[in-house]
Amino acid sequence: MIIKFLGTASNGGVPQIDCRCINCERARSDEKFRRLRSCLAVSENNKDWSIIDCGPDFDRQLENLKIITQDIKSIALTHLHPDHSVGLTEFGFGKIHQVKLNVSDNLKREILDNPMFKHLIDVGFAKFVKSNIFKFVSIKHWPNHSCSAIVFGKKKKILFASDCAEIDNNLLKEMVKVDLIIFDGTFLNESKFNHLAIKESCQILKNLNKLVIFTHINHSENVQEIIDFIKQFKFKIAHDGMEVKI
């Protein structure tokens, strides 16, 4: 299994368009500090790619992967917050490809209740499919919106939960079964906006004896401070373009 991090930032990206903090200004002057919104590409053969989440930077992310929409095997979504879903609108241009869309049952209902996304289904730009590629595990993130952790992989299992407010018993049971956990790294010190802080999640994750990679980094966070903190657990932080083979 090959995993490519096409984007590793939270909802505003880095730099964020309304911010002149030290992290955003540094990213404006040096591209290596930039981060696109959270997006993951996964493949068993380095040729056929499935995508997990597609936000506002989706067109650039496909360019970076050197593929076009017709090349996508399938797309899975964790939830409908814009930084994870509005890239679906990219399928509303040009030819009708009927891109395969994997979502939980609850998220399917939310998509069909949203005129912008429902249009894509009605016209045929995308279509819902059921497959055994992705398993959706309901998790806590935002009130009145469904959100899932996604488990995928054949020989090796990976759990992806970029937005998570709490590691409850149900999620913990799934974490025990996998080989790699890609988890919410939005904030280091304090849980905010229904994102569990790294310093809190590490107290649970350290007991699982698993490889953990944090993603979905907020523009406010000092990346070096995150690296310095998580190295005691031998955890990693993702960066755009990062590739993992498992």
For position 102, which CATH number holds?
Answer: 3.60.15.10
Write the pLDDT tens digit of every residue in 151-170.
999 999 999 999 999 999 99
Confidence of residue 76 (pLDDT cuts 50, 70, 90): very high
Q: Is 219 helix (H, G, I), strand (E, B) or coil?
A: coil
The crossing angle, in degrees rounded to 10, of helices 115-123 and 105-112 is 100
The domain total for the chain is: 1
Confidence of residue 93 (pLDDT cuts 50, 70, 90): confident
> Which domain does 63 fall in, by range?
2-245
Give the burial class of 154: count Cβ atoms within 10 A of its Cβ; 0-12 exposed, 13-18 middle, 19 or more buried: exposed
- Per the confidence metrics, is the pTM higher than 0.85? yes
